Structure 1
């Protein structure tokens, strides 16, 4: 007779416990135990947060335990159970850990491997090799690709959040219901009192404060006070919500015929425009992607407009980035003037407002939705389809796709769908946002997801020329620490390049991302195979950085920078001016969003800027998928390095009127979950 001590841990999230019957079977190299009901008479086991232990007596020697089988049978009503882990104390006193971190639903049997991570080549027994194959076959039935719109990255085959596999659903669907959250935001922000005046205009700029003052914070207040100033306009290209849109300009494009005479008064180094270009002090923000995108026409009572501006920026003698020329349409001509700081105050202000509105559209749809949300979903689906739970890369990456597929499914269900919430306030609603993503997909490039490469490609890597570009500085610091962590973990499991090349599951994961997620589009530059440890480290770093830091950088500042409506108008109600000297304050107010759309916009940016309940930040891995000591040591080192970055950022931000904290690791969630 052989006695095993079985310990079972139930999750602590809502509804994790169960009253159903739980059966367990041990599978060893020499045989199996009988299927045994885990039950303590007169004791309510498998409660939420419980850790229960049982004695399991096996009559014959079953050899080394290879698998633990769990089966749940209905007691009264359907009752899901969340199993965290199972530990086994063998008759010899050895402890074995079997991570689970899964929902056990219906009457399905699940099989667990012990916690040691293994590559496909590490499994030498038929039992373990078959287990890997069965697990992936089952997952591929659950996680299917689907094209939501032509030209989009592929997404999960699910129309509703409730259609998703239980393991990737939110613990509480109400917590991510966009309709409920926006309604709650409107109530919390006292915005409902304006909704009866939905399509009426504001009276003046001060009138916007009526929906702003109750929820103002340090940065948003500063924006409200200084939004009309050129330094504030330029600063947002560096450290606002969309700090990826501008690049160094070495030669002016022919479509933007700015002359030295136009801007010489703005140049502070006694150099000509051509000389400033040569010195690397001129930058360009080109919103060409907006050209030809149809404006929102879902409301027949309100005509809305979009523009595709170009904005020339100058790094002045004080190393502040300021605008020196703006053209509101792509094609030059007599009806498309180049606006300058020397023009009338109202002309220049409206030109800047148009740039900020275009910036908002690209930020929301391309920088935020496509490049973080949709790409993270691609990584997540491929992960579940091609990497079994025993694979070290699954263990490493699964915390970084937590709730991502769920939040995107909810967005397609309520937010960006036809007649969704996106249509209520945004100028690209009603289909324009779809056209933008389709266009952006033709320009998607793998190297832009490699943070240091993206900085160099845009020519903005010099701290000497752009000393206040905190997005760059903090992003590089976080990238390097993530890359160092990934390097340590990868080197534990891969001895050489051949081990990478022969890892069939890794290659299937990378291929799934490229062939299905990105529809075999070679122009993206995403690899179809990975042949070296160096490339593997880069690829895994891209996945972790995109799903954590990059999303944090472009998401959680939305309320800070976009809550003051004139600074980031979600739509415009008058066309771009075609001549100078005709704009007055009344025309600017009539151009800005009406009261109703302003309220919807404010509720949206507030809701999207909130962390999830019980958020897990970068380096926090409460689900212990890894049990090996070297990996645990690497995780501790990773956390320590992240803490150092957070401390440096906190110290830098002291007494700053505009602190930059979006890439502070203690504010970077592990995954795209909001």
Structure 2
């Protein structure tokens, strides 16, 4: 007689326990156990409680392969789902094997778990597991399919509604409740004040401060007080919500005829434009990719989009200052170059129009496409390519149902098999809510009545902007060290996004390198892993549309390539998303500092504007509050927030990855302390890339 000791843990979520019958069957290389009821004296499977049970067999089952768990009705009690956290099995031989689950199990459902170490396809040595792996991938490919969102844009998943997405990838009830509460609270406040839907024009800049009573941050208050200042305007190109756009200027574009005489008053005494370029002190914002995109209509008339240029200089005080602005690409008498010495509202309007273009570029390209949509590509490709036990993913991450017809000789059940999150190594924590969020987000942002319809380009224009960006996107632009070098920003002062981002890139890369090299000791191991090759092939095909000129890999040849690409994926879905998302309320809830929509045309001559012109140019009351509410919802922190590097669920069974995770967490903690210390000495603390403030996946 052999005895298997089982410890089964029920989650500590509300109503996680169950009164239903729970049965377990063990499958090993030498046979299977009887279907055994898990039953002790008293109440079993109570919220947050572990329970110890025994499964007896006539002899050892050999190496354990699978564990089947079934939930059946008890008496006539009503249905209550069970949140099954994990099972730990101690075999007669003394092996202790973790089987994580962490999902809700309904009545009549049955789950099959694989435990043990991660395993590549070429390492599978049992016919049952080989067949199990093959069927799993077939079913995942049938469930997760691709479809086109629009021509020239990354492909998306094929689910039409959030309800179709497997439960393990949907938002938690607490996250949904928090989001709905915030949305209702915002709506009530705006309705009470009579602001929601109002077509009135703002009567003064000060009135805009009255939008929200209670939603104020230190940074949003600072923005409202300093938005007109040139040094703060320049600061935002480095540490605002769109820090990836300026580049060093060593030679002026031919279509931007700035002269020495124009800018000499704004440079260091005794210096010149040429000298400042030679010293590496000149920087350029150029929105040429927006040029020629038709704008949206507003009250039956086309709006105005300025695909402009802004020249910036690092002054002797190490402040980045705008010194010349041209609002359209082609110079002309009606497209003058605006200077800080121009009438105050002329210069202010020029900055506002540049910021309008930057806001649209930020929201559609750098936020939506380069983080949300790419994350979806990475996730769907991984879901289709990696089985439950793969070392890079080691999780199917979703509920799949397959009908398994295996031979009687294999001693395995016939029936429904469900797969769900198991031991996760690298990717799944960073994809957890991507499909749910993007499904709703595409409708609420890019749908016919989406928030982004209130932009100067409108939905069609923003889609074209994303299309243009993807056609020019390079692999190196998503890899921060290469991005910074290519833009010549290695030494520009007070660039905290760069400083913190590069440290985070290195920490993530070190963690990824340790894990990848643990499972792939040589390049030949990479070559032989067909599932890994399928993943990168699908990403290349469906994310970057097979564009070889982009530099994105279509296949992996070396361990180093796997490390770099996986680092980029994790960085994009955590650090980069936080950098372009978390500060949106801080910087963009105050419409004068940056608005997606401007109603009036840009100035074409100097000396004709006033503060009344500025107010007429800004969106009206209803449009302003709608966009402000949108930034609130995107920047909020919700109840089930999980910071980078945190793994609250025990999904790791192997000692080496556990050690790697602890080292990863220790490095993140040290960086967090260093950033906190630095910020304590700054007038404007840069907190967005503090690891404690970075969410482990894209959730807003």
TM range (shorter): over 0.9
Does 2:258 match 1:224?
no
Q: Deviations over 1:352-373 (max 9, x none)?
A: 0111111111111111111111
Tell me how far apart the structure 2 counterparts of residues 174 and 621 of structure 1 sit (CA, whole Å).
18
* Equivalent in the alignment of 2:406: none
Q: Give every structure 1 segment of 4 or more consecutive aligned residues whose post-TM-superposition deviation is greater than 6 Å.
A: 75-78, 176-180
Q: Deviations over 1:632-663 (max 9, x none)?
A: 11111111111111111111111422100111
Tell me how far apart the structure 2 counterparts of residues 67 and 196 of structure 1 sit (CA, whole Å).
56
TM-aligned CA deviation for residue 293 of structure 1:
3.0
Q: Deviations over 1:197-225 (max 9, x none)?
A: 71111112112122256433221211111
* Equivalent in the alignment of 2:639: 613
Contact 2:174 2:639 in 1 (8 A): no
* Equivalent in the alignment of 1:536: 562
Does 2:664 match 1:656?
no
Tell me how far apart the structure 1 counterparts of residues 478 and 36 of structure 2 sit (CA, whole Å).
50
TM-aligned CA deviation for residue 135 of structure 1:
2.0
1:586 to 593, 612, 635: 612
2:536 to 486, 510, 535: 510
* Equivalent in the alignment of 1:334: 333
2:583 to 548, 551, 557: 557
* Equivalent in the alignment of 2:363: 364
Does 2:54 match 1:55?
yes
Q: Deviations over 1:55-107 (max 9, x none)?
A: 21223432111111223446676655443221112223332111223444575
Query: Compared with structure 1, are the counterparts of its residues 310 and 105 closer, same or farther at alpha carbon in structure 2 (3 Å cutoff)?
Result: farther
* Equivalent in the alignment of 1:574: 600
TM-aligned CA deviation for residue 179 of structure 1:
7.1
TM-aligned CA deviation for residue 442 of structure 1:
0.9
* Equivalent in the alignment of 1:622: 648
* Equivalent in the alignment of 1:420: 450
Contact 1:285 1:311 in 2 (8 A): yes
Tell me how far apart the structure 2 counterparts of residues 287 and 669 of structure 1 sit (CA, whole Å).
30
Contact 2:356 2:597 in 1 (8 A): yes
TM-aligned CA deviation for residue 257 of structure 1:
1.3
TM-aligned CA deviation for residue 563 of structure 1:
1.9
Query: Compared with structure 1, are the counterparts of its residues 310 and 300 closer, same or farther at alpha carbon in structure 2 (3 Å cutoff)?
Result: same
Q: Deviations over 1:287-322 (max 9, x none)?
A: 12322333333x647864322111111111111110
**Residues 128-527 of structure 1: pairs in structure 2 closer than 5 A:** 128-172=129-173, 175=176, 181-187=182-188, 190=190, 192-195=192-195, 198-211=198-211, 214-297=214-297, 300=299, 304-394=303-393, 395=424, 396-423=426-453, 425-462=454-491, 466-527=492-553
TM-aligned CA deviation for residue 597 of structure 1:
0.9
TM-aligned CA deviation for residue 546 of structure 1:
0.7
Contact 1:186 1:599 in 2 (8 A): no
Contact 1:194 1:595 in 2 (8 A): no
Report SS of the residue matched to 2:194.
helix
Does 2:18 match 1:11?
no
Does 2:38 match 1:38?
yes
Report SS of the residue matched to 2:55.
strand
> How many aligned positions are there?
667
**Residues 67-106 of structure 1: pairs in structure 2 closer than 5 A:** 67-73=66-72, 80-104=81-105
TM-score, scaled relative to structure 2 = 0.91
Tell me how far apart the structure 2 counterparts of residues 432 and 194 of structure 1 sit (CA, whole Å).
31
Tell me how far apart the structure 1 counterparts of residues 342 and 486 of structure 2 sit (CA, whole Å).
33
TM-aligned CA deviation for residue 542 of structure 1:
0.6
TM-score, scaled relative to structure 1 = 0.94
Contact 1:212 1:564 in 2 (8 A): no
Contact 2:178 2:639 in 1 (8 A): no
Query: Compared with structure 1, are the counterparts of its residues 289 and 65 closer, same or farther at alpha carbon in structure 2 (3 Å cutoff)?
Result: same
Task: List gaps (5 residues or longer) in structure 2.
Answer: 394-423
Query: Compared with structure 1, are the counterparts of its residues 649 and 392 closer, same or farther at alpha carbon in structure 2 (3 Å cutoff)?
Result: same
Q: Deviations over 1:605-653 (max 9, x none)?
A: 1111112312111110122332221211111111111111111111111
Query: Compared with structure 1, are the counterparts of its residues 417 and 178 closer, same or farther at alpha carbon in structure 2 (3 Å cutoff)?
Result: farther
Range with bigger deviation, 266-275 or 553-562: 266-275
TM-aligned CA deviation for residue 264 of structure 1:
1.2
Q: Deviations over 1:512-547 (max 9, x none)?
A: 111233332323322111111111111111111111
Tell me how far apart the structure 2 counterparts of residues 32 and 617 of structure 1 sit (CA, whole Å).
41
Tell me how far apart the structure 2 counterparts of residues 11 and 491 of structure 1 sit (CA, whole Å).
33
RMSD of aligned Cα (Å): 2.2
Contact 1:339 1:348 in 2 (8 A): yes
Tell me how far apart the structure 2 counterparts of residues 47 and 145 of structure 1 sit (CA, whole Å).
41
Query: Compared with structure 1, are the counterparts of its residues 115 and 470 closer, same or farther at alpha carbon in structure 2 (3 Å cutoff)?
Result: same
Range with bigger deviation, 78-87 or 323-332: 78-87
Q: Deviations over 1:112-142 (max 9, x none)?
A: 1113112222221212222222222222222
* Equivalent in the alignment of 1:639: 665
